Chain A
């Protein structure tokens, strides 16, 4: 479990994180959702000990604070910026970071091979990273975070600038890791990713944690009603309802529908309802 207690961080006059508290349970995929500048990366940086909170604490239960090297060996980080050595091959990158995490030769080779296979780069392992595509680099970025078999995986916007194929591959990888029991912190501003991958989601805006729960509960609590868009000869009509099926059956009886669309609330609407803005504002 990772425990965040009233953490605050300012950079000059800018408040990046404003007293947030929450806990991340073991083996869950926890999403931090928010627009750019919401405080996601600062929170992640405090989680891995890169940034010291002005006040409050981040603690890995049973292990200690993130500055502790023993804690760090349990954490794998895939930063938003591709953190790879372009002049080295994929395998050399993995070997270098694996050695830094204390893996010895037998275990190192085994983990490097596993990581390359996991992200589907075995065939390109000897190519220099500068020859990789953007998607391949993203996958290698993930592989480097996994090479030392961490208990906690922190993925900061892992799909930025990635083609749909590689994005899908990354999703599948995360789902496999989740099944293997890895605790994952996933930051994104794509709500469909959070919706697909995360067990629980915390919604951040302007450094404050606006809401935290499972996706279903968040939608139920803050998503508002579903909407049925009825297509008529003279245009469209929008009807909001808590029970869209019953409403459609009722409408079918009353009028002859030429067509309709159902709009269920999403995390986007949750964010809109909580902040009055969309995630991309």
Chain B
């Protein structure tokens, strides 16, 4: 183990002294993360309404003619797109973020509208994520607007208004011959006397609350990233890892071509110690780069991981799993140039289809299916799961296992090919 450490420290020292290698390993991925973060900041960051109409669910619990008329009024609105649904289902769908909100027309809505002089205002409930203040204000405003229109109609409909007055008079206590009773009786007489006259639309009352809008908070389960940097920094980590493994693949070939590998192989070392040292140095570098990039994301760009524990585990697994690929690349390439070329060519394709450039949630379904062959996709998923997807450990198990298997298979193949090539 001591020999492995000695060689690993030597490799790290050489890497630190190679200024261009150091820049491309540590800083270039951050530039990529910031660059794409700024680009995506206009289009990412959670689901946004794509239509001008606010798409909401509607539940008519009252189910009276009046409530049905109100739903009809709302349905005719160009500002709203209504979908009838049960309350339970609506709450779930809003929680999942499939629609912005729901409107619940509560039981008693019709009665309240009929008894407007004696009972409280008709009430509706809107269920909405408290974070969506803009949509909440818009929806409340629209409901008040249509509620007021409904009320206006009631005041201009003489028959409806008389019905409302009679209902209210019936509901007043008989022993209380109060002013309101006298007023309503007079009003009813007035409306009856003027029934034949032309409707000039001037009859009505002011001062009533047309509609009582109650807001119910439905905390939405996040399905999109809170910021574009939460997407681009996991991508940046993957670019950092790509740079690391390419650098180390080249360094192993460089050792072979420069003859230092021969000198090491003639020393009192086993080939597994030489490979182990490369793997260790590569892992230490990839994990350092990953942590460094994520720290920049957290402290400078406000990326807030949902779970630091899961992020830590993810970084370790992702960093470790790509060490095997480094080994494989270094063995199949014959020169530094070919290692660099093959490395970037293979990894660029993996990155392109695996979400290293275009975020996974932007991908069309066919590309999402294709991305399953890319370890970059599983790496990003392992990190995003800890940062903003809020995966449980059982959900993270899939990327963890795939990455571990990928790392082991590539490492074993690489190590065997290395031993075979050295022996022949």
* Residues of chain A having any CB pair with chain B under 8 Å: 48-50, 52, 69-70, 72-73, 75, 77, 79-88, 92, 96-97, 99-102, 128, 144
Contact = CB atoms under 8 A, between A and B. Distances in A.
Nearest to B263: A83
B264 A50 contact: no
Interface in B330-355: none
A41 to B, nearest CB: 10
Chain B: interface size category? 20 to 34
Contacts of B263: 77, 79, 83, 97, 144
Contact of A88 (B2, B13, B268): B13
B173 interface: no
Contacts, number: 68
B42 interface: no
Contact of B267 (A80, A81, A101): A101
Interface stretch (B31-39, B254-262, B359-367): B254-262
A50 B266 contact: yes
B268 A72 contact: yes
A50 B265 CA distance: 7
Contacts of B13: 87-88, 92
Contact of B259 (A81, A99, A128): A81
A83 B260 contact: yes
Contact of A101 (B10, B14, B268): B268
B18 interface: yes
A132 B424 CA distance: 33
A88 B14 contact: yes
B22 to A, nearest CB: 11
A83 B7 contact: no
B50 interface: no
B262 A79 contact: yes
Contacts of A88: 10, 13-14, 17
Please classify the interface of chain B as helix (H, G, I), strand (E, B), loop, or mixed, using the class held by over half of its residues. helix
Given A81-B262, A96-B10, A87 B268 contact: no
Interface of B: 2-3, 6-7, 10, 13-14, 17-18, 258-260, 262-270, 422-423
29 contacts: A50-B262, A50-B265, A69-B268, A70-B268, A72-B267, A72-B268, A77-B262, A80-B259, A82-B259, A83-B258, A83-B259, A83-B260, A83-B262, A84-B258, A85-B260, A86-B258, A87-B13, A87-B14, A88-B10, A88-B13, A92-B13, A96-B6, A96-B7, A100-B6, A100-B7, A100-B268, A101-B267, A128-B17, A144-B263
A77 B423 CA distance: 18
Contacts of A52: 423
A15 to B, nearest CB: 16
B258 A100 contact: no
Nearest to B14: A87
B265 A82 contact: no
Nearest to B9: A96
Contacts of B18: 87
A-B interface, 6 closest residue pairs, ranked by CB to CB distance from nearest: A81-B259, A83-B259, A69-B268, A83-B263, A48-B266, A72-B268
Nearest to B17: A87
